[in-house]
Homo-oligomer: A and B are copies of this chain.
Amino acid sequence: MLPGLMQDRPLAIIDILRFAATAHATQEVVSKNVDEPIWRSDYAGTMRRVAQAANMLAGLGLNSGDRISSLAWNTHRHFELFYAAPGMGLVLHTANPRLPDDHLVYTINHAASRVLLIDRNMVEIVERIKDQLTTVEKIVTLTDSARTPAGYEGYEDLIAAQPDSFAWPSFDENTAAFLCYTSGTTGDPKGVLYSHRAVVLHGFAAGLSGALGFSAFDVVMPCQSLYHATAWGLPFAGAINGVKFVFPCDKFDGASLQALIEGEGVTFSGGVPTIWTMYLDHLERTGGKPGTLQRVIIGGSAVPRDMAVAFDRLGVVVQQIWGMTETCPLGVVATSTPALAARGRDAENEQIWTRQGRMMFGIEMEIFDDEGQPLPHDGEASGALCVRGPWVLERYFRSDTSAVDADGWFDTGDISTIDELGFMRITDRKKDVIKSGGEWVSSIDLENAAAGCPGVKVAAVAGVYHPKWEERPIMLIEAHDGAELSEADVRAYLESRVPKWWMPDRIFFEPVPMTATGKIDKKIIRDRHADALKEG
């Protein structure tokens, strides 16, 4: 090997903000906060506050590589910690307040965090669990002076007297920056330790037109939580491209979002479908219009057809997205290409709305059969979806064993197809696949079909034991308030839409259990209805 002779300069997260503070100094950073008036600053101001936060953290005696945990919403202070902590060589563990207490405690202890920074309305949780936190030495509330709860120290008080510059150290780009835990429904949460290299490369790729396609004219309102895999990396991809940020705190109801969209000129947002269902309901009730909003990116679960059509009518582009904590998190985004557009508008919409997304440069993707042989990209063959690349994990935090195979592939646990245009479609979680008489039933396809039935709010499908077919699908239906919906209606709706042998053996009308990350909790469904078909 002949080495090139270019500069050996490491990729560093703090350089993203330094860039934005120089080339987009006056671009705004706007934020709601718990019980506070709206916050307005810009990248230059944010850079100074980030330096103050770093000086504050340095004063606590933290050392390079130490972990600190946040328990916080989508606010500017949380955003500041996203740069301050990695910038000084610390690791930010973004704890998930939606986890059950025991899992939350587990993650903070597993991270061995020395400092915990919390939003004002997290005090109740923290009071409940703090005696179980074995490594936390200090708790800071992300509050201003006036609103710091009694007995706590507030962020604004702590940073106020700090210098607004910091001697940011330079270090290896493989240094850890973020610790994000998966919230598996089985077993303990597992930590994924993002490096500066992974976050910066992901930030480059995520901003491209084949992914999020950001420009400095975008106003980005992240409605995916900052504690979920760094909110798809928006804090980084956004700043690289100089977007205006609008942080909604924990107010994801339709009226709050609409007020920010109208008031701040939001062009881009995204999040799980639930939020956007509420938003569309709000528009319908109030006769509101999405105004400047151009794009909504949906992740976490498939886009309901109704939602896609409703946004399309309002002139808003809806795109799916797929990723996981283990992929930093972007894997694919559903963006069009000339080859797809040439098929006509309807076919294009169909593809964009029903595929998780199209491959992006930097993350390789392949599907394999049970023998480990790669399957064709024909949109039909489905197999174990595996990924590899510089923003895919190699092993979980504190694990002695690699999470990837000898060729570097990480098995996502999803079953999917890939088509000739490079679009990936998840047909199931591997553990949720229903094996009926040797054939696979896609629980996701069945759920998506049922979700289109008028009156259905959520449909969930799981496989349970069947004496003859080994497994058969059962379905849970949660109807919209006031909807008149019978089992016969659902069956009639499904009849023309799914293969006959996919028809669920039983349909239950009951609330669908959800995980802490807003996904259908199939484990609970399977446990609850384990014996539903034992008589065949």
Q: Does A7 contact B (CB under 8 A)?
A: yes
Docked complex: A174-222 residues within 8 A CB-CB of B: 174-177, 192-198, 201, 204-205, 207-210, 213-217
Across-interface contacts of A420 in B (CB, < 8 A) = 25
Determine how close the nearest CB of chain B comes to the CB of A39; give it in whole angstroms: 19
Question: Restricting to A3-43, which residues have a CB under 8 Å from any CB of B?
Answer: 3-9, 11, 15-16, 19, 22-27
CB distance from A161 to the nearest CB of B (A): 27
Verify if A150 is at the interface (C-beta below 8 Å from B).
Answer: no
Chain A window 396-436, contacts with chain B (Cβ cutoff 8 Å), 1 for yes, 0 for no: 11000000100010100000000011100000000000000
Q: Within the complex, what minimum Cβ distance (angstroms) separates A391 from chain B?
A: 6
A146-161: which residues lie under 8 A (CB-CB) from chain B? none
A86-110 Cβ-contact flags toward B at 8 Å (1 or 0): 0001010000000000000000000
Query: In the complex the two chains form, is B210's CB within 8 Å of A3's CB?
Result: no
Q: Is the beta-carbon distance between A339 and B5 smaller than 8 angstroms?
A: no
When the two chains form their complex, are residues B2 and A244 in contact, meaning their CB atoms are under 8 A apart? no
Interface centre among A11, A210, A377 (most CB of B within 10 A): A210
A6 and chain B: residue at smallest CB distance: B198
Docked pose: A106 CA to B244 CA in angstroms: 51
Task: Report which of B11, B172, B338, B422 forms a contact with A23, defined as CB distance below 8 A.
Answer: B422
Q: A302: CB under 8 A from chain B?
A: no
B1, B19, B328, B361: which contacts A6 (Cβ < 8 A)? B328
Task: Tell whether, in the assembled complex, residue B394 and residue A89 are in contact, meaning their CB atoms are under 8 Å apart.
Answer: no
- A6→B197 contact, CB < 8 A: yes
A26, closest chain B residue (CB): B339
Decide yes or no whether A389 CB sits under 8 A from chain B. yes
The answer to whether A394 touches B25 (Cβ under 8 A) is no
B4 touches A197 (CB 8 A): yes
Given known pairs A208-B240, A422-B22, the reply for A174 and B7 (CB within 8 Å) is no
Chain B residue contacts of A25, Cβ below 8 A: 420-422
**Structural contact, A209 and B204, CB atoms closer than 8 A:** no
Report Cα–Cα, A9/B5, bound state, in Å: 20
Flag if A19 contacts B195 (CB, 8 Å). Answer: no
By a CB distance below 8 angstroms, the chain B residues around A175 are 1-4
Answer yes or no: A135 CB below 8 A from chain B CBs. no
Q: Return chain B residues, CB-CB under 8 Å to A205.
A: 204
A384, chain B: closest CB distance, angstroms: 18
Cβ distance A113 to chain B, nearest Cβ, rounded Å = 13
Query: A242 contacts the other chain (Cβ, under 8 Å)?
Result: yes
Say how many copies of this protein the assembly contains.
2
In whole angstroms, how far apart are the Cα atoms of A242 and B341 in the complex? 14
Produce 1/0 per residue, A454-468, CB < 8 A to B: 000000000000000
Given A208-B207, A241-B210: A1 and B393 interface contact (C-beta under 8 Å): no
Question: Which residue on B lies nearest to A239, using beta carbons?
Answer: B361
A64 in complex: contacting residue of B2, B16, B408, CB < 8 Å: B2
The residues of B that contact A5 with a CB separation of less than 8 Å are 176, 192-193, 195, 393-397
State whether A390 and B6 are in contact (beta carbons under 8 Å apart), knowing that A65-B1, A422-B22 are contacts in the complex.
Answer: yes
Say if the beta carbon of A359 comes within 8 Å of chain B: yes
- CB pair A209–B215 under 8 Å, yes or no, is yes
- A358 CB–B CB distance under 8 Å: yes
Question: Does chain B have a CB within 8 A of A472?
Answer: no
Inter-subunit contact B392/A6 (CB<8 Å)? yes
Best-buried of A4, A242, A393 by chain B (most CB within 10 Å): A4
CA distance in complex: A450, B197 (Å): 48
* Interface residues of A, Cβ cutoff 8 Å to B: 1-9, 11, 15-16, 19, 22-27, 64-65, 89, 91, 171-172, 174-177, 192-198, 201, 204-205, 207-210, 213-217, 240-242, 244, 328, 335-339, 341, 358-362, 364, 377, 388-397, 404, 408, 410, 420-422
What are 26 residue pairs bridging A and B, where the CB atoms are less than 8 Å apart in the complex? A1-B64, A5-B176, A6-B174, A6-B194, A6-B390, A6-B394, A7-B388, A7-B390, A9-B388, A9-B389, A11-B201, A22-B377, A22-B422, A23-B360, A24-B339, A24-B422, A25-B422, A27-B337, A204-B205, A204-B208, A204-B362, A208-B214, A208-B241, A217-B338, A242-B337, A244-B338
Known pairs A4-B174, A5-B176 / 17 extra A-B pairs, C-beta < 8 Å: A1-B172, A2-B91, A2-B193, A3-B174, A5-B193, A5-B397, A6-B197, A7-B389, A9-B388, A22-B359, A23-B337, A23-B358, A23-B359, A23-B361, A208-B240, A209-B241, A217-B338
